[in-house]
Amino acid sequence: MLIAIGYIVVLLSVVGSFAFGGGHLGALYQPLEFVMIGGSGVGAFIAGNSKKSMASVRKAIPMALKGVSYSKEVYMDLMSLMYVVLNKARREGLMSIESHIEDAASSPIFAEYPKIVGDANLMEFITDYLRIMISGNMSAFEIETLMDEEIETFRHEREVPVHALQSVADGMPAFGIVAAVTGVIKALAAVDQPPAVLGELIAHAMVGTFLGILLAYGFIGPFASRVERCVSETVKVFECVKVTLLASMNGYPPQLAVEFGRKVLFAAVRPSFSELEEHVRQAKTAGGKA
């Protein structure tokens, strides 16, 4: 919704100011300029990306439009789940959680947190490292290094659409200049025409530069930035899990381990200490019943 509002504001500001300043809107309607600039941008995008990259851009578009669903409530559920699992492992031993992580779909513990279970990537990250902790063959330092490598790989893959879209945005002004130059060439070829005709041709040529800059900085560039922010929010949930698990491996009790995880969250979605404490207290009761 916000991205649509932003685009509408851009159009109203630019086109509205032009119209109120005495400009004729019909002069901006140049379909061939759209075809030249848009087609060049699409062609450059295809030439500069692989099929896998283009598929990742296609997946990133709906994510950017609807936004990332990691709200404060989701993070509190995540940390409550981590508390229940780590508390059970601390009281009954790591082997007591093996059956839960091997078959999370039927686990009474994970069943209490459907939003977390529904995130396949997050569940894979949690269960994989809990399995490694159960094996007992790796130190906390080794697991931290492995986590960092996996998170960095995940971030790199998710940022492919950002770089692809930003490259197109960077090229739009240049394609606008190309369109303007072709228009000027056309105008110079008609130098024997009356001034009114030449003025119209030059005006049409300038529309190319106008469209290239507007598409770059008003539409494609902001969209790439929005995708990048969504990636950062997605990566943050893995960092939260990483810090929580490492705190537990370093001997901190579950109550304090989830506090470590809370501290790495963005301020907009970070629950307060009392909010998390109350949520964990409820999870403790529910976990005991399970």
Task: Render pLDDT for 21-51 as a digit per residue (tens, 0 to 9).
Answer: 887 887 788 888 889 999 999 999 999 999 9
Cα radius of gyration rounded to whole Å, the chain: 27
Write down the pLDDT at residue 136: 74
Work out the average pLDDT over 140-166: 93
Q: Render pLDDT for 172-227 as a digit per residue (tens, 0 to 9).
A: 999 999 999 988 888 888 877 888 888 888 888 888 899 999 999 999 999 999 99
The closest alpha carbon to 165, from 11, 42, 62, belongs to: 42
Query: pLDDT-based confidence at 275, cuts 50/70/90?
Result: confident
Write down the pLDDT at residue 290: 47
110 pLDDT above the threshold of 50: yes
The secondary element (H helix, E strand) that includes residue 140 is helix 140-158
Spatial contact of 236 and 265, defined as CB atoms under 8 Å apart: yes
Global pTM reads 0.82
118 pLDDT above the threshold of 50: yes
Domain ranges of the chain: 72-137+231-289
Question: What mean pLDDT value characterizes the chain?
Answer: 88
Work out the average pLDDT over 103-126: 88
How deeply is 255 buried, as exposed, middle or buried, from its count of CB atoms within 10 A (0-12, 13-18, 19+)?
middle
Length of the chain: 290
